[in-house]
Amino acid sequence: MIHSLRKRSTRSIASCCAVLSLAAASVHAFAQEGPRPRLPQPPANIAYDLILQNGHVLDDKNHVDSVMDVAIKDGKIAKVAPHIAASDALKAIDVKGLYVTPGLIDIHFHAFINPGERNSYAGDNSIPPDGFTFRAGVTTVVDAGCSGWRNFEDFKDKIVDRSKTRVLVMLNIVGAGMRGGKYENNQADMDGEATAKMALKYPGVVVGIKTAHYAGPEWTPVEQAVIAGTKANIPVMVDFGENHPESRPLYDLLTKKLRPGDIYTHMYSGLRNEQDPVTLGPSKAFIEGRKRGIFFDTGTGGGSFKFSLAVPMVKDGFIPDSISTDLHIGSMNGATKDELNVASKMMAIGLSLKEAVAEMTSHPAHEIKQEGLGNLSVGSVADVAVLRLEDGHFGFTDMVNGRVDGNKKLVAEITIKGGKIVYDLNGMEAEKWDAKPDANAPYAYRWTSFAPRVPVQRPSDNDRH
């Protein structure tokens, strides 16, 4: 008995090694961008790599709100039409009953995780993006000010360049970034010129300037952030810090200090006179700010979202321009959880699905001036979310642990980044394990980041063990 057990376990170790070496081979194959000469090339007469069929497409930028097929080729959106034949693609997935949207964009995220700085957002308060993004349909996050011009390049090397998620960055106006109060309140380290210079060195990666957590009564961080944003032609996002209504009122911030196109985050926090105390709707500052073209963002985080503001303000029509999470260790398991939970929460208090999707796709892309993202235009990068709108009994909470009940919840079924499936909750793309491999299986590398069902033999694999 013992003998046979041992024998069996030896065998399972051996098969485990085979799986591992196959995994290593596939990692090797897929670490490279684009088709490589050694990989098998699909027949030239097959027009597309992947088609998502029969899904309800919600593409705010292109005003699409109907059942459509979406075809992808070479990592780009190739065609969106009422019917595209399955035989035109290497792979077709029937997503009937699901919503197909551009990959979601979360413009308030904290990703500069490193063990160096205890209890700071340029340290262990941050979280690794890939653990929180694809599983919520998110393909792009914007790190909101964890790094400043002094430590951005370290952040870029350690996190931005190593993440599968597209990580864009808002530079903190504080050169040292979010290293804690001692640094973040140091006016001497708020240098608009130096910040702009670093932003201009990395266009398309640095997409904004952040000011946050400032405790003092001065306007210095806002003024320097606007200098940096103006020089680099990117927006400023404001977390307005400690409330100083006499020396720096919200009204002045939104009507004088910020430029149209700048972003006010934590819009439903109630910490800085966002709400009119009489009507309970938006304050005069909010109303005037929106008229001027200031964008309003949820950034719900750990302590920045209250139903006592959000419910009456949404009822009043003051809905967000963008839905973001402000995810970090203090919000990932609390009321915020992830992007789709925040969206479902906003729907539970009055937003339509269409509005919520726009606020996670075309709107945030526009706010950060990355118009190539957040849409399904032909030629755009094929970042796609396939979402299920579940029916049931759900509860959503806020920063004071108040609850709203809802009967709908968004769940990500499939997430596609750059034309390849990076998340597939229920294996919709996979074949049954005992099915005969599909004729196109050798070309699976063209539509999925997961291991192909038919191993691809390459000469370089022979000397790998």
Binding site for Zn ion (CB under 5 A): 144, 326
Which residue number has the CB closest to Zn ion? 326
Exposure string over 314-329, b if 16+ CB within 10 A, otherwise e:
beeebbbbbbbbbbbb
Q: To the nearest whole angstrom, how small is the minimum distance from the Cβ of residue 258 to Zn ion?
A: 18
Q: To the nearest whole angstrom, how small is the minimum distance from the Cβ of residue 239 to Zn ion?
A: 6
Nearer to Zn ion by C-beta: 51 or 144? 144
In three state form, how does the secondary structure of 36-95 look?
CCCCCCCCCCCCEEEEEEEEEEEEHHHCEEEEEEEEEECCEEEEEECCCCHHHEEEEEEC
Q: To the nearest whole angstrom, how small is the minimum distance from the Cβ of residue 321 to Zn ion?
A: 17
Nearer to Zn ion by C-beta: 326 or 359? 326
Strands 420-424 and 295-296: unpaired
Q: To the nearest whole angstrom, how small is the minimum distance from the Cβ of residue 418 to Zn ion?
A: 27
Nearer to Zn ion by C-beta: 212 or 294? 212
Question: Distances from the Cα of 258 to the Cαs of 12, 200, 209, 224, in angstroms?
Answer: 63, 20, 12, 11
Q: To the nearest whole angstrom, how small is the minimum distance from the Cβ of residue 104 to Zn ion?
A: 18
For residues 139, 145, 151, 154, the Cα torsion angle rounded to the nearest 10 degrees is -10
Half-sphere exposure of 67 (CA within 13 A, CB side): 8
Nearer to Zn ion by C-beta: 39 or 144? 144
3-state DSSP percent of the chain in helix, strand and coil, to 5: 30, 25, 45
Nearer to Zn ion by C-beta: 109 or 396? 109
Q: To the nearest whole angstrom, how small is the minimum distance from the Cβ of residue 178 to Zn ion?
A: 8
Cβ atoms 248, 215 nearer than 8 A? no
Nearest by Cα to 281 from 321, 250, 243, 308: 308
Nearer to Zn ion by C-beta: 345 or 409? 345
Cα dihedral across residues 39, 43, 49, 52: positive or negative: negative
* Assigned token pair, 387: 């979402």
Nearer to Zn ion by C-beta: 136 or 144? 144
Nearer to Zn ion by C-beta: 107 or 144? 144
Beta bridge partners of 68: 55
Nearer to Zn ion by C-beta: 48 or 121? 121
Q: To the nearest whole angstrom, how small is the minimum distance from the Cβ of residue 266 to Zn ion?
A: 8
Nearest by Cα to 401 from 334, 313, 343: 334
The burial class, CB within 10 Å (0-12 / 13-18 / 19+), for 22 is: middle
Q: To the nearest whole angstrom, how small is the minimum distance from the Cβ of residue 202 to Zn ion?
A: 21
Nearer to Zn ion by C-beta: 51 or 335? 335
Q: To the nearest whole angstrom, how small is the minimum distance from the Cβ of residue 386 to Zn ion?
A: 28
What is the rounded CA–CA span in Å between residue 303 and residue 89? 47
Length of the chain: 465
Beta bridge partners of 414: 386, 424
Cα dihedral across residues 450, 454, 460, 465: positive or negative: positive
Q: To the nearest whole angstrom, how small is the minimum distance from the Cβ of residue 108 to Zn ion?
A: 6
